[in-house]
Structure 1
Amino acid sequence: MTTPRSRRGFLAVCSGTAAALGLGTPSPASAVPDEFTALRSKWRTLILGEGFDPAAEPFASRLAGLGGTARRYLASMSPTAGALWPDLPYAEPDPGTDPGSYVCSGNMSTSYTRLSTLAQAYGQPGTGLTGDANLRDAVVTGLGHLHDDVYHAGRARYGNWWSWQIGAPQALLDTCVLLHDALPADRLAGYLAAVDQFVPDSAVSDYSGTSTGANRVDLCRVLALRGVVGADAAKVALARDALSPVFPYVSSGDGLYADGSFVQHTWVPYTGSYGSVFLGGLGMLFALLAGSNWEVTDENRTAVFDSVERAWAPFLYNGLVMDGVAGRAVSRGLSADDPAGVQQDDHLRGHPVLAAIVLLGQGAGAARNARWRALVKGWMRRDRYRPPLADPVLSLPNLARLQEVEDDTTVRAVPEPTGHRLFPAMARATHRRPGWAASLSMASERIAYYECGNGENPRGWHTGSGMLYWWGGTFADDQYSDAFWPTVDPCRLPGTTVSRKALADGAGGDWGAARPDVNWVGGATDGRRAAVGQYLKGLRSTLVARKSWFFLDDTVVCLGAGISCTDGTTVETTIENRNLGAAGGATFTVDGGAEPAGYPWSQTLEGTGWAHIGGHGGYVFPGGATVRALREAREGSWSSINTAGSTAVLTRKYLTMYVDHGTDPVDASYSYLLMPGASAARTRARSADRHWLTVSANADGQQGVSVRSLGFTGVNFWSGGTVGSLTASDPCSVMISERGDGTAVIAVSDPTLTRTGLTLTWRRPVTSVVSAPATLASAETGESLTLTFGDLAGTAGVSQLIGVTSR
């Protein structure tokens, strides 16, 4: 290891000549074939952006800001043993100690990221540092210091593997591309040797462990750039070929599923976080290698294009990506290192996904590209809370991609897609209607309650216990964006049923280790409406419950039954917990009477028929219910749910409604209707219409409803039995949609993934079966319809649709 330079010596070197730095040493550039030179140029464009006017907004201010950041980094850079910046020590912890080793290695990769930022300020126009020789020389010296001090061949890694195999080498190689001609040949060779040690070919030799899904795409990016920078055709070919395992649909573990699910860390739904990395990384690599000798031509890559609308679009809404598929990323708000910075949220996580779709579309064919650009423009224009073109943290190339779509007058923004999507492989559902959208998060033996790890999201315990998120088209788009996660009561998440038993931070274990031993989680849908259910077992609790949601045109009908617990604590079902922001001024009306608007306030509402939150929506309680309601101002900090978060105290006001099932309830139940965006008058009218909804069952064995005016029937059979006009031989989920033309669609699923046979009888006159899946073994029509199914275990919980005509 070389002796670290002093601060004074470092500045002297940075102000010296290129000859003093050895920059006159020939680099490998002259020996690189034209194709590698072209690939470096293409990558430079991909990471710096193109087609924008640096003197026009929003780019001028962003470039100036980049220059300001670079100046701060440059002024504070001070290479010493164990650090390049004083605030980012990466010295290896003492042997045998654990404390924060992942932070130390993370600081190492963050140091490389800062050098990459400096290199971008050097290469971008309009930063005030464009082409600045002192800046360039400082980056070259910084690269040398990090190499000599920590990231070099022969060094044993410590802490988090990600820092060594993805974080550091990606930033290092990007910097090598941006400053390629300024790097001495021997130095460049040393950097590539370090990458070879920490990211050897064996890192992608099999599809397992940490080399799957988004991580595999990231590793391939490292290998591809290692090949491009080092003019190594074999490395680029390896990177291309190692992408192939991410394309086919998987049936377990990490990756894309045929139903549109995306899972990372084996058990965690991650469309909105790791999935963003996956999609963006593939877009970058496809674009880099297009037209080269290493173009990605694997025929299975079309699954990625198919998944844009199957996997990602259902979770994008008005520019945000839904938190139910963001894992522990929901705990990343304000950073302790930058408490005056920008709070991360669902909108800021959504914008890179939009940009990734634009980039991926360039190679997806003309029809898809046009359709995706129209979707993206719509999402952008409807994002009023965080307009994407004013996103302060979106990378410049992504900003340029979105600006180009906005400026393209041939692209017409399309409205939000509508419909229902079930994702059995990750226990999620989305429901989209004109003016609002909802998302449901559940847990099963296949999907974790929640994920924590690396000091993040230690109190996400109940996010998989039936959390029902919802957003309005022109309102409440900041519901989970505005400091919701650090201030909400983690035991009163909307839609959930929980025991108030105290849980330790990180209860159940890191990386999605905590999963319930239940398999009835899923439902049936015809693509418009749905019956969805969850057999709930509480995290480290004796709580059990049967929970059902029936997703309709303007309503979600929510039922709970069989709620039992012996924890010695109360059990609650949270109907709603609206984040009303710092002001908290929404009106609250119950059965036509206005409740007090002050804070704090609480009340037990006996025999409640309906309630309404001004500017949000309505709630109806069939037959009346006893509901607890409260207004409260809650305090919290990001550091309480993320060790890297800011300690600044935040206050948000909440209006909460919940059902108190009492201490150690036995066979308790609930029922309510959620009506997003409904006025008080419409909520009152729905409550007064005693014939609109029939709750045909709400018990431990079956839960079902029917709405005659919609021709809707939905039943979740937790066990075989009869509910209304339906009889099922075994557990299943059934949804029927009868149409005015005498036809009907019957959707049937096996949420347990275990049924080798099922018989379903619908006591309605049926003339004929006009469409059926291969799983239907036989059908008997007449005064009633009897459907006999064969093996459903292999359907992965996907709804089986049968079309019939009635007499």
Structure 2
Amino acid sequence: MTSAWSRRTFLATSAVLTAAGGSALVLAAPRTATAADDDPYAALRATWSALILGEGFSPTAEPFRTRLATLGTQARQWLDTMAPGDGSLWPDAVYADPDPDTDPESYGFSAKMADSFIRLNTMAQAYRQQGTGLTGNTGLRAAIVTGLEHLNSQVYKAGQTRYGNWYSWQIGAPQALLDVCVLMYDALTPAQLGRYCAAVDHFVPDSAVASYTGTSTGANRVDLCRVLALRGVVGGTAAKIALARDALSPVFPLVTKGDGLYADGSFIQHTTVPYTGSYGSVMLGGLGLLFALLKGTTWEVTDPKRQVVFDAVENAWAPFLYNGLVMDSVAGRAISRGEVDDHRRGHPILASIVLLGRGASAAENARWRALVKGWAQRDYYSPPLSNPSLNLTALSRLKSVLDDTSLTPLPEPEGHRLFPDMARATHRRPGWAAALSMADRRITYYESGNGENLRGWHTGSGMLYWWGDTFANGQYSDAFWPTVDPYRLPGTTASRKPLADGAGGDWGVALPDVNWVGGVTDKKRAAVGQYLKGLSSTLLAKKSWFFLDDTVVCLGAGIRCQDGAAVETTVDNRNLGPTGNAPFTVDGSVKPVTRPWSATLTDASWAHLGGHGGYVFPGKATVKAVRENRSGRWRDINTGGSTDTVTRTYLTLWVDHGQNPADASYAYQLLPGASEQRTAARAADTGWLRVLANTDNQQGVSVPSLGLTAVNFWFGGSVKPLTADAPCSVMVTEHPDGTATLCVSDPMRMRTSLTLTWNRAVASVVSKPSTVTSATTGASLRLVFGDLSGTRGATQTVKVRLA
């Protein structure tokens, strides 16, 4: 065929189709489908078609009927506007790069080339799916083939020099192209398929997976393997499928640096970015598809290390899923994409877990389906089956789980999870959950790139997210990122020094020169600390969080800065939505709901925000508050975002440390979901919490009613009843049965020895890790630890019996 279809012929054909209403035909089976038993590639094409089109749902039942009609409408739009010409297949998607060596917009041109294939993929799905209004439409079929030929002759072909972003050429375009080849296999000649396969071979040669480095790791490696596998399926090349299967193996083992899954449940992509909720989602979905495609074939994935991926469902992904959403703390620059919020990013992960379960054990599959059912049912804010960005296959998987009456939905898992390898933590209690984001010399402050997440500067400066089970689930979903003050992210300590968009550099290159970031946990409670150095700032601070049963105790000390700008610690910054009338009370005094309203709250003991929770200030504090409307555009934080202005109301509480502070501090308790009465009662109970230390050297608390004492030793020293001879994090809990648990860690990963003394009579040591080289009991307990530098900041747990 020629490289371009004449616009006149195309429009004439479209007119005929429009007039005819797009006759729906009975679909012909792929030309080799009858030989599926004898032709493994035909069987693989049939499997892949089912995986990408969905199965087991009625096209006349909701939500599928509406979604199929929407698919048909979109395909009709692409059909009506398709105008093959020199340098574009659609007028609004010009892919011809005028100067690939110097043009700064090369990325955009390559992305539009890939987008052209994605549009053809949409059209192919509308052709194959029932109920689209274009099912089996011969004119649509001809347009798809013409589009493939046009792109192959003009741009995506063997010998073409690529420009712009590598991703478009090696993943975006070939994945969509090969999907179309499978869906339209019966409409394509062997010669056409051969040229398309040659194009894929050119841009994605076998060498793309020869080494596990660069852009061929983690989620990207899985995507490349999908391309290779489908190239083998479409071209009938066994070696390609085998290569794809074998090239997955480097993804499975736990890693100790760079991209991949870590033993503590961390997932890193781009070397320094926690990415469980974005790239991790892609990897999980890609593995689920490939496991399902190859299952029961000659090329089945049998590497025993794939169990690491199965274990990661609950070790890595589940801790960041909450009532259907996936936490923004592990979504990287994806938080700036307005069309897909934390709930809409979470739902595909739920569907991927369901798909992955097909290749897992029966017990794992049953448990995961029960977890998914619970998450999906509890997502009242954004029900998964109403998610417009969820494809039909994901919808069908989630609906099958929701409709499965044999499944009892599992509740949210409780407890604390600390992820030292990606400087993150999650805390889950009945009725609420929280997440903490930090940064160190291995984990970036934030990631920007491709014009995305331009103002995420302080998301790694101790941002403390929290959600309720039946309230505030849309806190970060409802246009939070374009409207929030980026210098006042909840929990952070930051300088008001103006920062440029993308400050610090793209792709997570900005790393603070600090080691002490981490803490300890007994899997129920935790003590976590961050030595903070501000991004492009002279700011220094010691920040600690003590995650307890109904509260998070937040301490800050040693806050100093010479930026010539104000320094603030944001106690909270709640998105109150379009109305913003949540009542705000301070020490029993109800404040106005008018906007703007602001005040300096002197000697405040407690505050309460209706429908959200409470805040307690031990020893009283001077706190500033403002209720205001804030407006912004997604385009302000993402160059590809909407230019529409959105407005939300915020109630912000912060401690103003003044300009150029020398040794400032703060202390407060966060009580998610607490009533006004419970908040006031906690403030009145001055003995419930004891702040043992809040200095540049140590930060520690005790809660007698919980039998808990926890201290972050920044430089060692003594905080009664604990003494440490070096930096470490310690949490001690005395239990009603006469035992106690001591949790100790080396967040700096540098200690070759550590001596810890607890001034408490101990009768015996019940259990201890191998890192404890000596344990002396009696009037006090003296623990000597050996080399902790290789423990990666993990908690060392010692259990003792009290005298």
Q: What is the TM-score with the length of structure 2 in the denominator? A: 0.97
1:374 aligns with 2:370: yes
Summarize the alignment of residues 42-441 of structure 1 with structure 2, pairs less than 5 Å apart: 42-333=47-338, 343-441=339-437
The SS at the match of 2:276 is coil
The SS at the match of 1:792 is coil
* Residue type of the alignment partner of 2:433: A
Aligned residues of 2:3 and 2:150 also touching (Cα < 8 A): no
Summarize the alignment of residues 611-690 of structure 1 with structure 2, pairs less than 5 Å apart: 611-690=607-686
* Residue type of the alignment partner of 2:432: W
Aligned residues of 2:111 and 2:168 also touching (Cα < 8 A): yes
Distance in 2 of aligned mates of 1:324 and 1:137: 46
The SS at the match of 2:146 is helix
* Residue type of the alignment partner of 2:773: A
- Kindly state the Cα deviation for residue 27 of structure 1 after the two structures are TM-superposed: 9.3
* Residue type of the alignment partner of 2:660: D
Aligned residues of 1:2 and 1:149 also touching (Cα < 8 A): no
Q: Which residue of 2 aligns with 1:338?
A: none
Distance in 2 of aligned mates of 1:267 and 1:30: 49
Per-residue Cα deviation, 1:39-65 (whole angstroms, up to 9, x for no partner) = 110000000011111111111111111
1:9 aligns with 2:9: yes
- Kindly state the Cα deviation for residue 14 of structure 1 after the two structures are TM-superposed: 7.5
* Residue type of the alignment partner of 1:371: R
Match of 2:719 among 695, 713, 723: 723
Distance in 1 of aligned mates of 2:566 and 2:37: 70
Aligned residues of 2:776 and 2:782 also touching (Cα < 8 A): yes
The SS at the match of 1:634 is strand
- Kindly state the Cα deviation for residue 391 of structure 1 after the two structures are TM-superposed: 1.2
- Kindly state the Cα deviation for residue 77 of structure 1 after the two structures are TM-superposed: 0.7
Aligned residues of 1:93 and 1:99 also touching (Cα < 8 A): no
Distance in 2 of aligned mates of 1:470 and 1:72: 41
Distance in 2 of aligned mates of 1:425 and 1:505: 27
* Residue type of the alignment partner of 2:704: R
Distance in 2 of aligned mates of 1:419 and 1:710: 16
Task: Quote the sequence identity (%).
Answer: 69
- Kindly state the Cα deviation for residue 417 of structure 1 after the two structures are TM-superposed: 0.5
Distance in 1 of aligned mates of 2:354 and 2:212: 28
- Kindly state the Cα deviation for residue 87 of structure 1 after the two structures are TM-superposed: 1.1
Summarize the alignment of residues 755-794 of structure 1 with structure 2, pairs less than 5 Å apart: 755-794=751-790
Q: Which residue of 2 aligns with 1:511?
A: 507
- Kindly state the Cα deviation for residue 16 of structure 1 after the two structures are TM-superposed: 11
The SS at the match of 2:790 is helix
Distance in 1 of aligned mates of 2:255 and 2:106: 33
The SS at the match of 1:795 is coil
Per-residue Cα deviation, 1:116-154 (whole angstroms, up to 9, x for no partner) = 010000111111111111111110111111111110000
Distance in 2 of aligned mates of 1:596 and 1:205: 64
Q: Which residue of 1 aligns with 2:46?
A: 41
Q: What is the TM-score with the length of structure 1 in the denominator? A: 0.97
1:581 aligns with 2:574: no
Distance in 2 of aligned mates of 1:640 and 1:26: 50
Distance in 1 of aligned mates of 2:461 and 2:656: 16
Distance in 2 of aligned mates of 1:696 and 1:272: 37
Q: Which residue of 1 aligns with 2:25?
A: none
Aligned residues of 2:33 and 2:43 also touching (Cα < 8 A): no
The SS at the match of 1:130 is coil
Per-residue Cα deviation, 1:379-421 (whole angstroms, up to 9, x for no partner) = 0011011100111110101100000001111100111100000
Aligned residues of 1:36 and 1:231 also touching (Cα < 8 A): yes
The SS at the match of 1:602 is strand
Aligned residues of 1:27 and 1:184 also touching (Cα < 8 A): no
Distance in 2 of aligned mates of 1:450 and 1:9: 50
* Residue type of the alignment partner of 2:75: A
Question: Where in structure 1 are there 5+ consecutive unaligned residues?
Answer: 18-22, 334-342
Per-residue Cα deviation, 1:313-344 (whole angstroms, up to 9, x for no partner) = 000000000000000000001xxxxxxxxx32
Q: Which residue of 1 aligns with 2:492?
A: 496
Question: Where in structure 2 are there 5+ consecutive unaligned residues?
Answer: 18-27
Aligned residues of 2:754 and 2:784 also touching (Cα < 8 A): yes
Distance in 1 of aligned mates of 2:40 and 2:799: 56
The SS at the match of 2:318 is helix
- Kindly state the Cα deviation for residue 602 of structure 1 after the two structures are TM-superposed: 0.7
- Kindly state the Cα deviation for residue 736 of structure 1 after the two structures are TM-superposed: 1.4
Aligned residues of 2:41 and 2:234 also touching (Cα < 8 A): yes
Q: Which residue of 1 aligns with 2:23?
A: none
Distance in 1 of aligned mates of 2:498 and 2:405: 56
* Residue type of the alignment partner of 1:134: G
Aligned residues of 1:571 and 1:660 also touching (Cα < 8 A): yes
Q: Which residue of 2 aligns with 1:450?
A: 446
Q: Which residue of 1 aligns with 2:559?
A: 563
- Kindly state the Cα deviation for residue 3 of structure 1 after the two structures are TM-superposed: 5.1
Per-residue Cα deviation, 1:260-319 (whole angstroms, up to 9, x for no partner) = 000000000000000000100000000001110011011111000010001000000000
How many aligned positions are there? 792
Distance in 2 of aligned mates of 1:761 and 1:547: 24
Aligned residues of 2:100 and 2:106 also touching (Cα < 8 A): no
- Kindly state the Cα deviation for residue 10 of structure 1 after the two structures are TM-superposed: 3.0
The SS at the match of 2:624 is strand
Deviates more, 1:763-772 or 1:284-293: 763-772
Distance in 1 of aligned mates of 2:723 and 2:123: 68
Distance in 1 of aligned mates of 2:55 and 2:585: 53
Change (3 A) 1:552 1:729: same
Change (3 A) 1:183 1:28: farther
Distance in 1 of aligned mates of 2:230 and 2:238: 11
CA RMSD of the aligned region, Å?
1.7
The SS at the match of 2:288 is helix
The SS at the match of 1:286 is helix
* Residue type of the alignment partner of 1:747: C
Distance in 2 of aligned mates of 1:15 and 1:612: 63
* Residue type of the alignment partner of 1:708: P
Distance in 2 of aligned mates of 1:716 and 1:307: 29
The SS at the match of 2:359 is coil
Per-residue Cα deviation, 1:460-484 (whole angstroms, up to 9, x for no partner) = 0000000000000100000000000
The SS at the match of 2:743 is strand
The SS at the match of 2:77 is helix
